Chains A and B, each alone.
Chain A
Amino acid sequence: MQRIGIARGLHSYHHFPLWRTFFTELGCEVVLSGPTDKKMVEQGVKLAPAELCLPVKVFLGQVAQLFEQADVVLVPRLVCRRLNGDFYFGCPKAIALPDLVRAVFSLPDRVVELVVDHQRGSDEAGFVRCAQELGFRRASARAAFASAQRAEQEAKRLLKQGATPADFWTKSPVSVRQWCGQQGEKIGVIGHPYLVYDDYISLNLLKMLTETGAEPVVPLVTVEDLKQEAAQKNALNWFYELELIARARRLVSDSKVRGIIMASSFACGTAPVVNEVIRREVAGGANLPMLTLLFDEHSAEIGLRTRVESFVDLLRAVRIR
């Protein structure tokens, strides 16, 4: 039985139930990388060019770990997806990820590339090609994809009930948020799931917010929301960033939300554009206080706590909304 490694980082937060089910149905053993820790970050920082964003560095650290534990490692190439007949792209790093991993590790034979490119074919075609590269038959790949899609639907249902993407790492997701049910100032958090839900990278930002007595709100975004967002006149061309804009729109229209924290990693290429669009175009007239937080491998918890606490204190002192 082939052992295929899947890193927790990056877009696993979006697609892990789909990927895991696909490969287990095919008959592979899925090896999940450990949660982000100091060693992974150190390894990733050493392997990656200095100017890459932290989540990509962490991903490389996770892949390094997986090369020791698995036969092959899954590296997705998320080029573009179709929404309302138009194409929406991944960020350059998501598109170039397999090339990056090959160049960094020089183990090209152990990289399994999963291409999602709706310009060239459907999701299914990409998965089938990936399975064929691993030596599986077309028919079994299609069957595996069908049950993977069912698993994804189930995962979406759980998300609606309040699970977070980080709950899916285990087979039976615990659908309770640790920080749910708090009664406090509602503060929206906008950021890529691979940053916000990674406790190590985000220095436990969500938990930190609850500790100040506030209630972090990360609204769920569905495909319908994304379609609506894509239909806007000035929509972004980045697929995963449409999600952030949709989330921001939801937060701005929620009158109970008192402020927004925009969390992004340093050197994230899309963040300056997305944050600027949110600030100017989405939240333009809403008069909503915003805090921008940048995370990198040098971020310190105390500094972050100070900023988060003072933001919450300010919101309490000055009732802007």
Chain B
Amino acid sequence: MMKVAFPYMGDIQLVLEPILQELGAEVVVPPEPNRETLAAGVQLAPETICLPFKVTLGNMVRALALGADTLVYVTGSWSCRFGYYGRLQADICRDLGYRFQLLELRRDRIGKIVREIIRLSGGNPARALIRTSRAFRLGWFKATALETTNEQFRQYLPLAAEPGDCIRLQKAVVEEIKQTNNVRKLAELRRTVKERFSRLSRNGQNECLRVKLIGESYCTIEPFVNFDIIARLGALGVRVDPFLTGPRWLGFHGFRLNRREVQQAQRRAQKYWRYCVGGEDANSVGNLIMAAQAGYDGVIHIHPFACMPSTVVQPALAAASRDYDIPLLSISVDEHTAETGFFTRLEAFVSLLERRRRGKFKKGGVVYVSGQS
């Protein structure tokens, strides 16, 4: 049987794993990214490549060590380095002596992908079709259950009397989603999750600071590289809404769902950003503007160090944040970023937002883009 591994971020493997299993493949999921993963990636990767490359490379090496024989990558002809991940990582892993098949998901290889899926069903196209539809149905229910859970989590965490309880509940529900492969049970879970979160005891506050998280997809989604910013700031009483989550990323980029939402963000960004070059640049600008219009208190832009689209978009973000009068903090992360330094800056930003809300600053506010004074 084919043993598949794919680079994952955040919780997308919770959705992709059951899909691939239903298709008939065995999925090798390496341990969640941690320091060892990163160290392995940093050692093997080109020095100045972006952080997501290093983390996902570390992940893939660990997956190969666990016996994976097929690596699946999303690639494409575009101007961002993301398109080269598969090819370079495969080169590097082959140098380490691993033998595997590289499956690149791109437009011009759809024939090959379809052949692989049919092969997994024992060469029977009809059976493959049934299995594919069943797989994506399950994936859809898993994704929506995850989305609902995390939405509730983000909403209740800043208001919870004991943030720890809220975090534990979220972990428990996600684990249930992971274990359940029954569509009806997932639908049931999705229905009841709101009530489970609402039973948590509250801290008595009715409102909290709201911050929009924008930036490069991997940094927005993967808690290991953004130091679990949603839970950490949530425990401080700040609601953090990412513009992108794992399932949403899969929806946007994997299956081209919700194009209207993306177009809406890009239309708003038009004045500042006319061509999308990758790294969620136009989306970030658009979402910053939408956050300002929706009354958010501030925006945090997080991206890998020297990420091409995310650095070049910084002045445009700063211009939009001035025009729409919403504070912006732009932070880059790499393998040297220390958690303490990262949170010192976030806490300073949050206390500025608090003061701003209390009316200490009438107009204008903090625009801080790293490296600019």
Q: Which residues of A contact B (CB under 8 A)?
A: 48-52, 56, 77, 79-80, 86-87, 89-93, 95-96, 98-100, 102-104, 106, 234, 236-238, 266-273, 275-277, 280-281, 294
Contacts and interface: CB of A to CB of B under 8 A. Distances in A.
B49 A273 contact: yes
B79 A273 contact: no
Q: State the majority secondary structure of interface residues on B.
A: loop
B48 A271 contact: yes
Contacts of B370: 49-51
B314 interface: yes
Given A92-B309, A266-B48, A49 B314 contact: yes
B277 interface: yes
B83 A103 contact: no
Given A50-B372, A96-B312, A272 B319 contact: no
**Pairs of residues from A and B, 5 with the lowest C-beta to C-beta distance, nearest first:** A50-B371, A269-B308, A103-B315, A272-B46, A92-B277
A51 B311 contact: yes
Contact of B273 (A79, A96, A271, A280): A96
Interface string B29-66: 00000000000000000111110000000000000000
22 contacts: A49-B370, A49-B371, A77-B275, A89-B78, A89-B79, A95-B79, A95-B277, A96-B273, A96-B281, A96-B312, A99-B272, A99-B316, A237-B77, A266-B48, A267-B306, A269-B81, A269-B307, A272-B46, A272-B47, A272-B81, A273-B84, A275-B46
B48 A276 contact: no
B110 interface: no
B311 A238 contact: no
**Size range of the interface on B?**
35 or more
B78 A237 contact: yes
B72 interface: no
B286 interface: no
B312 A100 contact: yes
B357 to A, nearest CB: 27
A86 B46 CA distance: 28
A237 B48 contact: no
A273 B81 contact: yes
Interface string B249-289: 00000000000000000000000111101110100000000
Contacts of A272: 46-49, 81
B319 A96 contact: no
B332 interface: yes
Contacts of B80: 92
B79 A103 contact: no
Contacts of A79: 275
B208 interface: no
Nearest to B285: A99
A48 B315 CA distance: 8
Contact of B46 (A48, A49, A77, A276): A276
A56 B307 CA distance: 14
Nearest to A60: B315
Contacts of A91: 79, 308
B2 interface: no
A95 B332 CA distance: 21
Contacts of A236: 84
Contacts of B308: 91-93, 269-270
Contacts of B48: 266-268, 271-272, 294
Contacts of B84: 236, 273
Contacts of A269: 50, 81, 306-308
A77 B372 CA distance: 24
B122 to A, nearest CB: 31
Of A49, A98, A273, A277, most B-chain CB atoms within 10 Å: A49
B120 interface: no
B351 to A, nearest CB: 24
Contacts of A271: 48
B88 A96 contact: no
Contacts of A98: 274
B46 A93 contact: no
Contacts of A51: 305-306, 311, 332, 370-371
Nearest to B108: A86
Contact of B77 (A89, A270, A275): A89
A100 B319 CA distance: 10
B46 A273 contact: yes
A271 B46 CA distance: 10
Nearest to B79: A89
